[in-house]
Copies of this chain bind each other. A is one copy, B any other.
């Protein structure tokens, strides 16, 4: 019996284990949708009550699951202080302490378990490759992050000097200009803040010419590192 329970709860290569995994993941999805629906304004009392009941049922099931996982674990403390153990606890504790802050959205981290079922197939390989690729390109990514932050700050100071006198309400400080720098260098460009002086626009052009290269490089590095890792794995398989 003990072995059976362990096989169901911990492993996902048995039929029962896979069913259990899918059941838990379905509950996570329902819980996330229910959490999102609760944020809708003008919900009528009936719906709100229904969502409350769903929430209670889900938390009870998650609590049972948490206790089960402790029960079947060979090294109980190891599970409790593991990444998933902590996530599992965080997912249910807010309900019991009925804290003012709503932590239920953290339940989304339980979605990470979706990757568990993927272990069955080959998706863990993709995740593994991603980690490897990050390791390969780590130094460049750190370098580019530092350069990006310096560039953002310099852009903010520059545009502040150009635009502050023309638009004192919009570019009212370096911090407000930083918001402009973020929206511009990422090319989001909401349009809530933009230069209107000739100097500010030329400055924006120059910053964008440099900035686009800097901001877009990390994604390219990651993609190229990922391709390389995949290629190496294939070479190993061929040998």
Any B CB within 8 A of the CB of A148: yes
With both chains docked as a complex, state the minimum distance between the C-beta of A30 and any C-beta of chain B, in angstroms: 14
Q: Tell me which residues across on chain B come within 8 A of A16, comparing CB atoms.
A: none
Q: Tell me which residues across on chain B come within 8 A of A8, comparing CB atoms.
A: none
Q: Tell me which residues across on chain B come within 8 A of A198, comparing CB atoms.
A: 175
Mostly, the A contact residues are: helix
Q: Tell me which residues across on chain B come within 8 A of A204, comparing CB atoms.
A: 182
Nearest 5 pairs of A and B residues by beta carbon: A220-B223, A216-B219, A191-B191, A188-B189, A126-B139
Q: Tell me which residues across on chain B come within 8 A of A231, comparing CB atoms.
A: 228
Question: When chains A and B are docked, how far (Å) is the Cα of A129 from the Cα of B217?
Answer: 14
A220 close to B224 (CB less than 8 A): yes
With both chains docked as a complex, state the minimum distance between the C-beta of A98 and any C-beta of chain B, in angstroms: 18
For A172-207 the 0/1 string (1 means CB < 8 A from B) is 111100010011101111111010001001001100
Q: For chain A, which range describes its interface: under 10, 10 to 19, 20 to 34, or 35 or more residues?
A: 35 or more
Chain A residues in contact with chain B, CB under 8 A?
32, 35-36, 39-41, 105, 108, 111, 114, 122-123, 125-127, 129-130, 136-137, 139-143, 145-146, 148, 150, 153-154, 157, 160-161, 164, 168, 172-175, 179, 182-184, 186-192, 194, 198, 201, 204-205, 208-209, 212-213, 215-228, 230-231
A142 close to B157 (CB less than 8 A): no
Q: A122-B139, A146-B114, A213-B218 are in contact. Are A189 and B183 (CB under 8 A)?
A: yes
Q: Tell me which residues across on chain B come within 8 A of A216, comparing CB atoms.
A: 212, 216, 219-220, 223
Q: Tell me which residues across on chain B come within 8 A of A222, comparing CB atoms.
A: 213, 217, 220
Chain B, Cβ-Cβ closest to A184: B188
A212 close to B186 (CB less than 8 A): yes
23 A–B pairs (Cβ distance < 8 Å), ordered by A: A40-B172, A114-B146, A122-B139, A123-B139, A125-B139, A126-B143, A130-B140, A130-B143, A140-B226, A175-B198, A182-B204, A182-B205, A182-B208, A188-B189, A188-B208, A189-B190, A190-B190, A212-B215, A213-B218, A217-B226, A219-B223, A221-B226, A223-B223
